[in-house]
Structure 1
Amino acid sequence: MRPRLIVQLTGNAEHPLDWRCQDSTGSLVAAAETPAEAARGHRVMALVPGTDVLTTRVHLPVRNRQRLLRAVPWALEDRLSEDVDTLHFAVGERGRDGGVPVAVVARRLLGHWEETLAEAGLAAEQLYPDYLALPWHKDAWTVLVSDGLARVRTAAARGFACDAGNLALFLESALAEDDGEATPERLVVYLGAGEDPELAAQPLPVECHRCEDPLALMALHLDPRSAVGLRPAGVGSGRLAGHWRIWRAAAVLLAGVVLADAANNWLTYYHLEATAADQQAEMERIFHDSFPDAGTPLYPRRQMENRLQALRGSGDDGPPAEALLTLLQRLAPATAGREVRLTSLGYGGGALDVEISVPGLQAVEGLKRRLEERGLEVEVRSADNAGGGANARLDVRDGA
């Protein structure tokens, strides 16, 4: 078992909390000076004043837990003195007879207890009425009288608390109530220092024990499997819930930043992908214009490199490779614009024979001027209008 810290909310403004520590064997051990220090490495469970919590049972045919939670307040409305909208209802596990244990507490008190724990630096796993931490005997009711209060556990998930002076009256009323649960055969009574309630008139045998440390008794016998917790299952502690309220806006903002960054990354990727596609198409066009006999290129960059490498290695069987490469390096940037389309390219006599298709004759002059700026000598062999554009044939050679 994981070590536990049992914290009792006393209801005393000067001393609001008391606590006991248990080790992994369940034995009580010395606790730290503050509950926050004692809570380190421990499961924290809180006991709240039983005088402020009503526990009862209802028989409802509803099996769905959410519907059951909605139905319980109206099933108990006639038995409660306060408006159900101001109350909090917690339900336990359904018994074999179909009865469902219910704990009822004012919402304002539950909120106050949560705040008290949070101010002490505690994140309680669950809150229980203190009388449900008393020892439980199937054939007996358990009574603890200490500090002027009487706490009574009448069933695994039921009980009540009252002033010690009214204990006999409350016991008589509880014994007379027929709630479908077995009538006890005896009372097991634990008496704190200086306590001696009047129980002689009770019809049941009384078994008395002295109790020097009432909270230790409750800490040792708190069993979350049978006691009804006031906090709904799955709901975090008040401190954690408060932290979430504080950080919720930051979390929403962070989520927005993450989404915006993801959207920006996607747009950047889309833009780069489109640019890469355009560059691929441009490489294919240049390759086709430079080598029209090569057909449609599958890998234009690699095939261009292979063709140029073949030209470099042509040696004495053809024109000087370096002169041809120099002319091509100067020609390519000037013809890279989309307005110039190479339709034929040849080489001979130290000159390139270039046939182009352009939007108009002015574009021919523009290309001639760009080539001359790159140190080339250009002769326009022919130029004529054709189909809304112009065709031209140029001789291009090194102007040096």
Structure 2
Amino acid sequence: MTLYFTLNTPHQWAIVNAKGIESSGVVDTLSELPAAGHRCVAVVPGEQVVTRVEVMPVKNRAKLMAAIPYAIEDSLISSVDDLHFLLLHTGDENRVTFAYVSRQLMTSWLEQIHEAGIKLEAMLPDYFLLPGAKPGSAVITLTDDKRVLVRSGLYQGAVTDLENLPAWLSEQEKETTLLVDDRLAAKLPDEIDQRLIKTEIGGGLSNWLSQQAPDHGAGLLNGKFAQGSKRSLLKQYWPAVAVIVLAGFIKLGSDVGELLWLQKTNTQLEQSIQSLYQELFPGSKLLPGRVRVQTKNKIDRLQNLSAGNDFTYLLVTTARLLKNQQVVVEELDYRQGRLLTVLTLDNFAHLDRIRQRLQSNPSIKVSLKQSGARGNKVQARFEISRAAT
């Protein structure tokens, strides 16, 4: 028998045998789950797991896994080194379906599960539990916590909300058949290009598992996270430990005078970056790591750049549009003429207002790439570039 449980609290759980659901319930902590004697599968929030399809003329699986991160690197805000990738499907015309999720988040999830004494067999994003999926279809339901889950075909999924669902539908192919939960169908626009079939899907774990057992082949536990083993976690941690130890030896061996000078210079640079960044984006967080270094290099040249420079123009234009809008800029990056930013907002209505505000400026092209709930806030990823002239 298999125990499925959600990582979001409260934790829904269901024990499934060959005949269907044997028992189910809800608990407040992972340690309360009836895990003993069962194979265990964790169900994670789909907002955190991105699925994509790209054309890649590579047949060898190992080479394909190595190529995927760098094929999409320019479209990502996070470094590919911070992401965990998994290959889901290879189809006709070199179409490759894959998913990625934050390594840090995977580690955090596995630590929580391990601390609860649970031995994990698989980990799935929640949208892959939606029943009735098949090629050329999209299964859509409204969860009990008012999230809209979408499973496109067998190997793609997404999470949105009621306000943004019409926009998502407008981007789907007309040939797609929509299998929509009864409760959600009445909330859809009157005119939809796709064929719509109303069905009973339900909004929780037990509803989905009672109709169909999911395929664990789309699970997240592969590579360094295979089976969530202690050995896998150790492999993850030892490079970081080695860097810390090496940094310690370097620090001890450095000249004291040079070290003090470097520390003073670094502090001055940090203050300079923070001052300008906070002026452009009041109340936002300072950019971390690689992005901060890149931003520093850009900011250092701002005074010498011409008025036609895309980075300067996009940064200043976006800052003016977001000023006094109660928006927190979490991440910021600039690549090949595109400004990539992650924003935290109060709710989805706030997100809609900000999107409209950005898109109202005719001099820039704004695309909402991803959005989802983060606790009691909403986080969204935008791509901003100069409008075609």
Give the structure-1-normalised TM-score. Answer: 0.51
Q: Of 87, 91, 103, which residue of structure 2 is paired with 1:91?
A: 87
Q: Indicate how the Cα distance of structure 1 residues 93 and 169 shifts in structure 2: closer, same or farther if over 3 A, else same.
A: closer
Pair 1:46–1:145, CA change in 2 (3 A): same
Alpha-carbon spacing, 1:98–1:137, altered in 2? closer, same or farther (3 Å): same
1:162–1:236 Cα change, 3 Å:
same
How many residue pairs end up in the alignment? 231
Contact 2:3 2:15 in 1 (8 A): yes
Structure-to-structure mapping, 1:94-113, within 5 angstroms: 94-113=90-109
The structure 1 residue matched to 2:46, chosen from 24, 30, 50, is: 50
Deviations 1:342-373 (A, max 9, x none): xxxxxxxxxxxxxxxxxxxxxxxxxxxxxxxx
Matches within 5 A, 1:130-145: 130-135=126-131, 136-145=133-142
Q: Which residue does 1:199 correspond to in 2?
A: 189
Over 3 Å counting, the alpha-carbon distance change for 1:56 and 1:149 in structure 2 is same
What SS does the corresponding residue of 1:61 show, helix, strand or coil? coil
Pair 1:211–1:99, CA change in 2 (3 A): closer
Deviations 1:266-320 (A, max 9, x none): xxxxxxxxxxxxxxxxxxxxxxxxxxxxxxxxxxxxxxxxxxxxxxxxxxxxxxx
Aligned-pair identity in percent equals 27
Bigger radius of gyration: 1
Unaligned runs of 5+ in 1: 177-182, 249-400
Q: What per-residue deviation string (whole Å, max 9, x for no partner) do you get for residues 155-175 of structure 1?
A: 111121112321111222244
**Aligned to 2:160, which of 162, 185, 198?**
162
Q: Secondary structure at the match of 1:148?
A: coil
The aligned residue for residue 214 of structure 1 is 204
Tell me, what secondary structure is at the counterpart of 1:38? coil
Alpha carbons 2:224, 2:232 under 8 Å: kept: no
* Distance of aligned partners of 1:215 and 1:73 in 2 relative to their CA distance in 1, 3 Å threshold: same
Structure 2 counterpart of 1:73, from 69, 73, 89: 69
Which residue pairs with 1:41 in the alignment? 37
What displacement does 1:20 show? 0.9
Specify the alignment match of 1:25 in structure 2: 19
SS of match in other structure, 1:164 = coil
Return closer, same or farther for 1:99/1:26 CA change in 2, 3 Å cut-off.
farther
Question: 1:44–1:124: 8 Å Cα contact kept in structure 2?
Answer: yes
Q: Aligned to 1:165, what secondary structure does the other structure show? A: coil
Q: How does 1:200-349 map to 2 (within 5 A)?
A: 200-212=190-202, 214-220=204-210, 221-224=212-215, 228-232=218-222, 235-238=225-228, 240-241=230-231
Structure 2 CA distance for aligned equivalents of residues 124 and 191 of structure 1? 34
Structure 2 residue runs without a partner (length 5+): 239-389
Q: Report the Cα offset of residue 68 of structure 1.
A: 1.8
State TM-score, norm by structure 2. 0.52
2:4 touches 2:13 (CA, 8 Å); kept in 1?
Answer: yes
> CA 1:207–1:23 in 2, change beyond 3 Å: closer, same or farther?
same
Counterpart position of 2:6? 8
Alignment match, 1:187: 178
Q: 1:28 to 1:149 in 2, by over 3 A?
A: same
Counterpart Cα distance in 2 of 1:100 and 1:173: 20
> Cα RMSD (Å) of the superposition?
3.1
Q: Distance in 2 between matches of 1:187 and 1:162?
A: 15
What displacement does 1:234 show?
8.6
Shift of 1:223: 2.6
Alpha-carbon separation, structure 2, partners of 1:211 and 1:96: 30
CA distance in 2, matches of 1:195, 1:189: 6
One-letter amino acid of the structure 2 residue matched with residue 188 of structure 1: L
Separation of aligned partners in 1, 2:182 and 2:114: 32
